[in-house]
Amino acid sequence: MILDLNGNQTTIIHKICISNFKNDKFLAYINSKVKWTDNILFARIFETPDEAFDFAENKMVEEVLGEEKYLLIWTDTKVDIYK
């Protein structure tokens, strides 16, 4: 969601990010490191689910994910993309 100077919604942009299933955390790539963040503004964003899944299959990302369950959400609504 994009707001104008008056705080009114002007455009909705659907981008995808990876969210922690249990907590309100988002997968980020900051300073060449993959980690969980509380701030969705730092989340690594994707245009398509395939891009997100490809990123999640990277060895460095898999180490951070471990056994953690995750889901793909829309960055503007924080809702599962498959709902």
Q: Read off φ and ψ for residue 62, nearest 5 degrees.
A: -60, -35
Q: Which residue is listed with tokens 């689910």?
A: 49
Cβ neighbours of 20 (radius 10 Å): 16
Using a cut of 0.75, tell me whether the model's pTM lies above it: yes
Closest residue by Cα to residue 43 from 56, 55, 54, 30: 30
Among 11, 46, 9, which residue's Cα sits nearest to residue 26?
46
Of all residues in the chain, the percent with pLDDT exceeding 90 is 69
Condensed to tens digits (0 to 9), the pLDDT of residues 30-68 reads 999 999 999 999 999 999 999 999 999 999 999 999 988
Closest CA to 72 of 52, 58, 47: 52
